[in-house]
Structure 1
Amino acid sequence: MSTGLFDFNGTLPVMGLQVVLLSWLLEQILYSPIQGVIQKRQNKIQQELQLAADQLQKAQQLTQEYQTQLQKAREKARERIRQVQQEAQTMMEDQLKQAQQQMTQLFNEAMQQLEQQKQQALMNLSNQVDEVAKFILSKLMKQ
């Protein structure tokens, strides 16, 4: 018997059977469970990616809604500020008109008082002139 590199004797089918049996055992014991774990992991990763994508889309929608609400709130605040400024302007104009009316009234009252004082001073002066004239006349008459 010669032992060459490839001897085709009774051990070849046994070795072939061993390879097939070992392949089947490895498939059952090692490869199938590992493939199951890998498949589960891929499914879980895919689910988490889908969940993350859904959450990202929801976050973008919420961001858009918040931006819209913020814009509306800013516009409402601007409108309210404009109204308050307009009300303040109107109030200031009303107060200015009232102050002008009061000043005009005070001025008119002061002018009336001055006119009365002038008339009274003229009457007093006239009375004093009359008295002085009477005094002078009485002095002249005595002489």
Structure 2
Amino acid sequence: MYTSLPSFYVGLEKTGGLFDIDATLPVLLIQFFLLVQILSLVLFNPIQKILRQREEEIENNLKNARITLEEVDKLQQKIRRILQSVRDRHAIRAKEIESKRQIALIKSKKYLDTKLRQTRENMISTYRTKATQAGDLIPGVVQEINRYLRVRPPINRI
């Protein structure tokens, strides 16, 4: 009995190496696949679901951003067209106002020229009437001066 016991120990020592193929290998394989399935159900599938949801949300956000950018571009083009039409209308209106201003200047200049001519003619006619009136008075004034000088002779200052 003693002789078989050491050989039994030697047999046990040979087994249990790193790559022993015996009855424990299928049990280890079953445990490994069970562990993979449990991890898959508990950990991997929920993480994949969350990642898919996140990816879909990012895609939706990008699509919405593209749509929003397209709308912004359309609105910018519309604003540019409106601004251009406003500028065109403003330019037309400015030309109209400038032409009206020019016409008003011409009219006011003609009016002022007419008023100036009338005032000058009035002054000339007033001057003529005053001059004719004064011309009628000159002989009387000359007679008065002569009479004054006869009464009082001028003083010679030498």
Deviates more, 1:26-35 or 1:79-88: 79-88
Q: Distance in 2 between matches of 1:125 and 1:48?
A: 109
Question: Which structure has more helix as a fraction of its residues?
Answer: 1
Alignment match, 2:98: 85
Secondary structure at the counterpart of residue 9 of structure 1: coil
Bigger Rg, structure 1 or 2: 2
TM-score (norm 2): 0.73
Q: Pick from 23, 26, 37 the counterpart of residue 13 of structure 1.
A: 26
Aligned length: 130
Structure 2 residue 123 is matched with structure 1 residue 110: yes
Comparing 42-51 with 74-83, which one deviates more in the overlay? 74-83
The Cα shift of 1:84 comes to 1.7
Residue 49 of structure 1 aligns to a residue whose secondary structure is helix
Q: CA deviation at 1:25?
A: 1.4
Trace 1:114-133 onto structure 2 (pairs within 5 A): 114-125=127-138, 128=140
Tell me the equivalent position of 1:67: 80
Q: Which runs of 5+ in 2 are unaligned?
A: 1-10, 144-158
Q: Distance in 1 between matches of 2:129 and 2:64?
A: 95
- What SS does the corresponding residue of 1:6 show, helix, strand or coil? coil
In 1, Cα distance between equivalents of 2:83 and 2:59: 35
User: Which of these residues, 68, 71, 82, is aligned with residue 58 of structure 1?
Assistant: 71
CA-to-partner distance for each residue in 1:107-139, whole Å, 9 max, x for gaps? 11222222222322333346x49xx6xxxxxxx
Identity %: 26
- The structure 1 residue matched to 2:44, chosen from 31, 38, 51, is 31
**Deviating 4+ runs (over 4 angstroms):** none
Over the aligned positions, Cα root-mean-square deviation in angstroms equals 2.1
Whole-angstrom distance in 1 between the partners of 2:136 and 2:18: 159
